[in-house]
C-alpha cells in the first residue's frame, strides 16, 4: 500500500502538470481549491485512498500551438495523506517517499498531442527520489473563456522509483501499480 501510495505521488505530479496544460501560448494559473491529485493503492487486499494536497504548476498551453505546450509541476510529497494512519506513517520514510532527502516530485511535460477534440495525451518525465522516469498522461480538457478544466488518469509503477523495494519488493503487501487521477482547474493569466 505504501508503494502504491508512493507511486501515486509520483503519478500525481505528472497528472497535475498535464491537467494544468490549458494553453501553450497562454500562461495558466492553477486554482488550488478546485484542483486535486489523488491516488488509489491496494495494501493487504484493502483499497487505500490518498491525495497530494500541495502542488504547483507552471502551465503554458494553447490548442492551436501544441508544439509550445509545456507543464512544469512540483508536488510536495511530505504533504501526502491517505485514509489509513499506518500508511500515513510509512509514506515519508526512506523506503517510500524519502521526504527528508527528496521532499518533492517534479513533473515535466514537453510533448502534448491532440487525439480528438477535447482529448489529449501528454508525455514527459516524473522525477522522484533522484530518479527520472518517462510518463504518459491521457487527459480531457475543456476551455471556456478564461477557465480550463483538465482531468486525467495515469498508472504509475513504484519499481522504477525504487519505492518500497526494501519492505515489499514482491508486491506481497502493496501493489506495484498505482492509479493517479488529476483534476486541474486553471485560469488564463493576462
Residues 35-58: tens digit of each pLDDT: 999 999 987 778 999 999 999 999
Q: Categorize the per-residue pLDDT at 20 as very low, low, confident or very high, splitting at 50, 70 and 90.
A: very low
* Phi, psi at 11, each rounded to 5°: -70, -40
> What's the predicted TM-score (pTM) here?
0.83
- Is 14's pLDDT higher than 90? no
Domains of the chain: 2-188 (2.40.128.110)
| pLDDT tens, residue by residue, 67-100 | 999 999 999 999 999 998 888 999 999 999 999 9
Amino acid at each position: 500500500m505504501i508503494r502504491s501510495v508512493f507511486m501515486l505521488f509520483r503519478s500525481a505530479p505528472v497528472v497535475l502538470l498535464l491537467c494544468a496544460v490549458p494553453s501553450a501560448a497562454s500562461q495558466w494559473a492553477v486554482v488550488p481549491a478546485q484542483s486535486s491529485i489523488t491516488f488509489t493503492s491496494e495494501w493487504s487486499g484493502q483499497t487505500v485512498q490518498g491525495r497530494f494536497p500541495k502542488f504547483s504548476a507552471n502551465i503554458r498551453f494553447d490548442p492551436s500551438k501544441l508544439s509550445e505546450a509545456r507543464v512544469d509541476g512540483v508536488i510536495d510529497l511530505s504533504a501526502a495523506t491517505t485514509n489509513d494512519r499506518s500508511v500515513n506513517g510509512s509514506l515519508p520514510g526512506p523506503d517510500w517517499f524519502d521526504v527528508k532527502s527528496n521532499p518533492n516530485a517534479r513533473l515535466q511535460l514537453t510533448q502534448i498531442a491532440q487525439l480528438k477534440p477535447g482529448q489529449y495525451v501528454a508525455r514527459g518525465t516524473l522525477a522522484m527520489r533522484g530518479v527520472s522516469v518517462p510518463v504518459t498522461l491521457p487527459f480531457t480538457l475543456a476551455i471556456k473563456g478564461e477557465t480550463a478544466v483538465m482531468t486525467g488518469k495515469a498508472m504509475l509503477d513504484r519499481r522504477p522509483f525504487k519505492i518500497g523495494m526494501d519492505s515489499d519488493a514482491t508486491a506481497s503487501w502493496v501493489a506495484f501499480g498505482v492509479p493517479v487521477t488529476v483534476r486541474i482547474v486553471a485560469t488564463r493569466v493576462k
